[in-house]
Every structure is written in C-alpha cells, then in structure tokens.
Amino acid sequence: MVVGYLYLPKDNPNKPLGEDAHFMHELYQTIGVAYGVAGWALKGVNVGIYTRELMKNSFIGTYDEAMKGHVSPKRVLEEAYKNTNSKGQSTICIITLNSVKSTMVTANVGDSGLLLIRKGKIIYKSPIQQRGFGCPYQLGNCNANNPSVAQEMELNVEKDVIFMVGTDGMLDNIFESEIEEIVRRAINEKLKAEELASQIGNIALYNSFDRFADTPYARASEGRHKGGKIDDITVIVAYIQ
C-alpha cells in the first residue's frame, strides 16, 4: 500500500490546524481520518484537539493490534475512543490492508468515508451514517455515539486498485463522476498517490467556495443550501501494488 495525502484546513486564524485529523501507519498498512463536529465551537471548545488525540491514539492502537497478530480497525477504533479524554465529538473512518487475505477491512462512524476504485471506476462507496441531513453519527465523550455503531466491511482487493479516504469536506464538494475523471487522468499520467490526493482536494476546495456550484451537499440539502460547503478537507489516497 503506497499512500499520499492532502489536508486543507479552512481559513480560521483561531484554529490554524483546523478540525480534521488523520493518521497513516504504512508499516502496518492502516490509515484513518476524523472530522471534528463544529458545534462544539459554540461551547468554546476547539474540537480539533479531540480529533488529533483520537488519531494519535488510533496510531498507537494500530501498533498494539499488530503486535497481537493482525490489525482490526474496529478494535483500533474502540481503543482510541477509550483513551481519548479531550472534549469533543468526531466522525471517523479507519481502514487496514490484510495482505494475507487480500482484503481491505474498514470501520466507519458518520459521514467520513472511503471509495474503492478500479480502472478509474468507483465500485464501492461507504454508506453515510446519519440521523438526518447535517447530523452524522459521531464518537464523543458527551451525549454521542460509542464504537458499537461503527459499520464494518471487508472488501476483496487486487493489484492496481485505489482506495480513497476522505472527510466530509471532500465528499460534500466533489461528485463521484468528477473523482472518476480525475483518477482516469491520473492513471494515464502515472501520477503518484500524493499528486492524485492533491488534485482531488484542490478541486473540492474550489467547489467549496463556489456559491452556485452543483455539489453533493447542495443536492442532499434538498434546497436548504446552495453551492459548495466551506470546510476542512482531508484526502488520503492509497495505491495497492
């Protein structure tokens, strides 16, 4: 698994690191993303501290799981949740490559998620977990969900497939058809994983500032919102070789 990423925090001088976080453990072929639920800002809480602690603990949990024999994203998520003490709530998606079984195992809570792409075509997209528009499932230590709600999936993989993991800042601002077109060009041009992540993230950013753009977020709002959604954007691309 060869990995590249792009993180674009939205412009906020009070939170220069943004509210997204991610980790990549290439040795144990595990990656994850988390998106801090912004409502906590109304309570004076920087939820980015929570997401970064959650991802740090996920990285540690990946190592601990690997020492037991193999990495289980659900158990990594459970351990990270248990050991994260900062205030806040977050969506989270963790995936790991099981090279022995040639499968990708995932655990997902909320509206961050992943795409499996083969030959420039999206063949799987993780479903959104939400109670309603703008209300995703979320982990947290105050009136939030716990890891029992995590959706688990095991997908068969083969050489030359691409996994793309992103927070809602990516998924809300770029259509699957746009992603497929960019990926096909990237394959033809033999772009590195980091270069593909950069292209996806920057187009999502461009769309997010367009007040009249047709975006997944605008469509999902059923008329309540027009254009893109300004947000932190995280994109991780993994080439399976």
pLDDT tens digits along 163-214:
999 999 999 999 999 999 999 999 999 999 999 999 999 999 999 999 999 9
Q: What is the pLDDT of residue 237?
A: 97
Confidence of residue 152 (pLDDT cuts 50, 70, 90): very high
**Spatial CA neighbour of 117 closest among 170, 155, 77:** 155
Q: What is the dihedral of CA 165, 167, 170, 174, to 10 degrees?
A: 80
Give the domain extent around 54.
Answer: 2-239
Question: Buried b vs exposed e over 40-66: b needs ≥16 C-beta within 10 Å?
Answer: bbeeebbbbbbbbbbbebbbbbbeebb
pLDDT for the residue 70:
87
Whether residue 143 is predicted with pLDDT greater than 80 in this model: the reply is no
Instruction: Give the pLDDT confidence of 15-65 residue by residue, as tens digits.
Output: 889 999 999 998 999 999 999 887 777 778 889 999 999 999 999 999 999
Look at the chain and report how many structural domains it folds into: 1
Q: What is the pTM of this model?
A: 0.93
CA atoms within 13 A on the CB side of 100: 4
**Rounded to whole angstroms, how far apart are CA atoms 160 and 187?**
10
State pLDDT tens for residues 54-95.
Answer: 999 999 999 999 988 889 999 999 999 999 999 999 999 999
Place of tokens 């800002």: 41
Q: Do 17 and 55 contact (CB within 8 A), yes or no?
A: no
Q: The CATH number of the domain where 90 resides is what?
A: 3.60.40.10
Look at residue 129 in the predicted model and tell me its pLDDT.
Answer: 86
- Give me the helix-helix angle, 193-208 and 176-189, nearest 10°: 150
Provide long-range contacts, Cβ within 8 A and 24+ apart, for 45-48: 45/87, 45/88, 46/14, 46/15, 46/19, 47/19, 47/87, 47/88, 47/89, 47/90, 48/15, 48/17, 48/18, 48/19, 48/20, 48/21
What are 132's two structure tokens? Answer: 């309603």
pLDDT at 224: 84
Q: What values do phi and psi take at 192, rounded to 5? A: -75, 165
Tell me 173's DSSP state.
Answer: T
Give me the pLDDT at residue 144, please: 78
